[in-house]
């Protein structure tokens, strides 16, 4: 590259190509040359809408009826989604690991939960029967002040807390909580023997009575005389 001076007596100056290119790039990178450039967000949006436009054009070319056909397909898809939403309702979060509360409705007594469990069992609805019987167990322990009522308690937490005071029934409580979690969150199905085990545990806990230690706190439970 040759640069000629501004006067007649100047001698042409030769500048190598690479340094000249770098000098030009430095000059053009100055903010004064980019004051009216679109922002990075605007450039990203432009590229996005260009992509949408190309996609729409391709779909229109491949769909019978061109643009009208694409619009019809989009309307049909929207109608299907709306129908599914109306039929299935708002999607609910899938609980994991039994992390949601044991009681999902208003307060009910242990007797009410037992009655509900019996109705479900009579109808062969073992999942609901297991759920209601587990709730009856926990509510009964709360009513007898063997568990402190606590909103948001899970089946696992209730079993662990009750098991510390009822060591003789700790395994049964853990099994009942696991059965509750399996049918409520794990997508599994209960059967009549599963329900009967929880029913028998409920009956055994009803017969249990506290044995107070010397400090006046409940340390263990023994079976009441029949």
Q: Is the pLDDT of residue 136 over 90?
A: yes
pLDDT in tens, 100-123: 567 766 678 999 999 999 999 999
Whether the predicted pLDDT of 74 surpasses 80: no
Least confident of 24-33, 159-168, 201-210: 24-33
Quote the pLDDT of residue 218: 42
Q: Which of 31-35, 161-165, 203-207 has the lowest mean pLDDT?
A: 31-35
Residue 178's pLDDT is 94
Per-position b or e across 152-172, b if 16+ CB within 10 A of its CB? ebbbbbbbebbbebbeebeeb
Q: Which residue has the higher pLDDT, 157 or 79?
A: 157
Buried b or exposed e, range 23-47, using 16+ CB within 10 angstroms? eeeeeeeeeeeeeeeeeeeeeeeee
Alpha carbon distance 179, 193 (integer Å): 11
**Interval 82-88 mean pLDDT:** 66
Global confidence as pTM: 0.51
DSSP bridge partners of 222: 209
- Give the count of beta carbons closer than 10 Å to the beta carbon of residue 126: 20
């Amino acid at each position: 590259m040759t640069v000629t001076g501004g006067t007649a007596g100047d001698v042409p100056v030769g500048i190598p190509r690479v340094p000249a290119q770098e000098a030009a790039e430095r000059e053009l990178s100055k903010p004064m040359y980019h004051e009216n450039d679109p922002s990075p967000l605007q450039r990203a949006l432009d590229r996005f809408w260009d992509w949408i436009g190309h996609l729409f054009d391709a779909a229109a070319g491949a769909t019978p009826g061109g643009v009208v056909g694409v619009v019809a397909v989009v309307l049909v898809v929207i109608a299907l989604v709306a129908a599914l939403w109306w039929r299935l309702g708002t999607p609910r979060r899938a609980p994991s690991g039994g992390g949601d509360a044991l009681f999902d409705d208003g307060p009910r007594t242990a007797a009410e939960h037992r009655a509900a469990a019996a109705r479900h069992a009579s109808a062969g609805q073992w999942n609901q029967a297991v759920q209601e019987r587990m709730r009856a167990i926990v509510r009964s322990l709360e009513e007898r002040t063997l568990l402190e009522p606590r909103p948001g308690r899970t089946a696992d937490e209730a079993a662990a807390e009750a098991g510390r005071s009822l060591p003789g029934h700790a395994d049964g409580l853990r099994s009942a909580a696991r059965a509750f979690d399996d049918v409520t969150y794990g997508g599994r199905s209960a059967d009549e023997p599963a329900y009967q085990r929880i029913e028998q545990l409920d009956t055994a806990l009803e017969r249990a009575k506290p044995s107070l230690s010397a400090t006046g706190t409940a340390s263990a439970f023994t079976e009441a005389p029949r």
